[in-house]
Amino acid sequence: MRTALVAAALLLVSGCGATVAQDTTSGEGPVTVTNCGQQVTYDRVPSKVVTNDTGITELMFALGLKDRMAGYVVNGLKTVDVQTSPWKADFESGKHLSDKISKEVVQGVNADLVFAGWNYGFSESTGFTPEALKQLGIPSYLLTEACRNGVGKQRGIMPALDALYTDLRNLGKIFRVEAKAEELVKSYQQQIENAGKLMAGKPRPKVFLYDSGQDQPFTSGKNAAPQDIIARAGGDNVFGDLNDSWTTVNWEAVVQRNPDVVLIVDYADGEANTPQEKQKFLEGFAPLQNSPAVKNKRFYSLPYAALVEGPRNPASIEAFAKYLSQA
């Protein structure tokens, strides 16, 4: 979805380290956007938004919308995200509501919008779903990376960067900051284009995204952010053929695909809490001993929030491209 720039007078609004170009002619009436394939109408500009997870929260911060938030939900395993965030000051000055999102949390702050996603807060098993919120009179917006694609609970309906741009433009329309959203999209596209030049003409390494899991690895299929991060940086995701976003595979498949590089997600997963511990596990895992990644110690890590859909994705592409180009 591409939102045209509005030819209107712009009011510069300062907020928490961000300057937002706000369309003064947009008004406060209803707006309709396409979210996960559905036409959704928002009757007014939300002013008490609750976000779930770091990447989702950073989308709001990047658009300069912290003052439109009642607070955010981020669990205690994501401390690396907050400490490394370009919006650390917004996290610190904003309201951390809970480690886990629930109906009670959002009702407690009179939320007028919940921004989350399937497996990013929304889950039938917990009863916290967009439909349950609708029954409470609370609208929701779903992260596009987490949209279900019609095959069971598999997620992903478009390439990951398209999902990022779609959400920025949708949020720009909902919150009447379309010019700011378009500014971000264009700057990200330029940053990604420049990063792609670093590996131009060089062999493309096979990359295994390792999130967590020792019995079975949790990784990224073609619909999650690492797919585009890896590809635009100059590599090939070894599980880029899986029609899903974040998903579990088996070690036999990892060994068979013989990765040249391992990209590690930096967050505490309950088994190996640091990238160093995850690397140590992989180096000691006998079936992977002959893989080029292990033999050549080709490991690189990025924070969780840099690898889920969010405004850190372009910088992640640039950083990973620099790493790959040094080989």
Cβ atoms of residues 221 and 239 within 8 Å: yes
Q: What is the distance between the terminal CA atoms of the chain, rounded to a whole angstrom?
A: 37
Percent share of the chain, pLDDT over 70: 90
- The structure tokens listed for 217 are 């690895």
Predicted confidence at residue 77, as pLDDT, reads 76
pLDDT digits (tens, 9 = 90+) for 9-66: 222 222 333 334 444 334 578 999 999 999 999 999 999 999 999 999 999 999 999 9
pLDDT digits (tens, 9 = 90+) for 180-209: 999 999 999 999 999 999 999 999 999 999
**Mean pLDDT across the stretch 170-176?**
98
- From 115-129, 155-169, 228-242, 272-286, the region with the lowest mean pLDDT: 272-286
Interatomic CA distance for residues 43 and 237, integer angstroms = 41
| Mean pLDDT of all residues belonging to the chain | 91
Predicted confidence at residue 310, as pLDDT, reads 98
Strand residues in the chain grouped as ranges (E):
10-15, 18-23, 31-35, 38-42, 49-52, 69-73, 96-98, 113-118, 121-122, 140-142, 206-210, 218-220, 236-237, 246-248, 261-266, 299-303
Domains of the chain as residue ranges with CATH: 10-191 (3.40.50.1980), 201-325 (3.40.50.1980)
